[in-house]
Amino acid sequence: MKRKVILTCAVTGGTPIGPNAKYVPITPEQIASEAISAAKAGAASVHIHVRDPETGAPSMEFSLYEEVVKRIRESGVDALINLTTGMGANYTPALADGDEPEDVVFSPAKRTQHVSVLKPEICTLDIATMNFGERPIVNSPAHLRVMSKIIQEAGTKQELEVFDLGQIDLTNRMLAAGDLPSPPFFQFCLGIPGGAPATAEGALMMRSLIPAETVWSAFGIGRAQFPMVAQSVILGGHCRVGLEDNLYLEHGVLAKGNAPLVERAATIIEALGCELATPAEARDMLSIKSA
């Protein structure tokens, strides 16, 4: 039997819109439509951020999450809805005495409100305090404990996003202490400036530090997206693609939506002798109970 690979599609992301982001969805209708198209193309899970419909800026507005989730659920398409809780962790310290820091670290309750109410099957939990490029992000163990408890009370599976080696060590210690639920699902986020590189060596080192038999996935950003699909499959993991992480189908060619990225990843996965997991198979592998 061929190994089943869970393919996640991250459809829009939470970073500012750049000049090459012409196909990145912005409105709730566009985001939901892209998620549905990605699911039809083979993604078992769709990872959702929301944006201000007028400006395209990243948002934490509950009503936007609510509309996106409602549209996906009412479409009849079967896919695991995976909501981010990564927003609201930015902290930029002051550069000079007397200046005020740009502090936008929100409370755990604020960052997980949409999960508590909408109860998606999966949500991300960033185990990361780090320089995210030029933007420091802060996720203290105390915040993570509270967020994890709220997520568990919603009945939602936690996708533990780790960007570097020390974050895996922290995750392992929190798992051992019972602060995070088992069995865990790790997502290796590779290639972000300030984190682990999107290389075979980076993925191997990350894999070597997680508990044996743990389900894990990995993705690379930018030009590393498709090479990391292959690396993750070869190393026994699962995969993520999408316009959150990469805008290009190939060098110089923008992906006209998320579905082409999913289709390209599916081709790689199948060429390596594996098959795409269905949403039902993904739920089974991730120990998610169907509603």
**What band does 19 get if pLDDT is binned at 50, 70 and 90?**
very high
Residue 188 near residue 240 (C-beta atoms within 8 A): no
- Domain limits of the chain? 4-285
Q: Which of 166, 153, 210 is nearest to 187 (CA)?
A: 210
How far lies 49's CA from each of 56, 66, 181, in Å? Answer: 11, 11, 24
Number of CB atoms found within 10 A of residue 120's CB = 23
Domain 4-285 CATH superfamily:
Aldolase class I (3.20.20.70)
Give percent helix, percent strand, percent coil of the chain, each to the nearest 5: 35, 25, 40
Residue 101 has pLDDT above 90, yes or no: no
Number of helices and strands in the chain (H, E): 9, 18
Residue 110 near residue 60 (C-beta atoms within 8 A): yes
pLDDT in tens, 34-66: 999 999 999 999 999 999 999 999 999 999 999
Residue 12 has pLDDT above 60, yes or no: yes
Give yes or no for a cis peptide into 183 (omega within 30° of 0).
Answer: yes
Helices (H), 126-258: 141-153, 165-176, 200-209, 225-234
Q: What does pTM read for this prediction?
A: 0.96
Residue 99 has pLDDT above 90, yes or no: no
pLDDT in tens, 188-211: 999 999 999 999 999 999 999 999
User: What's the pLDDT at 26?
Assistant: 98
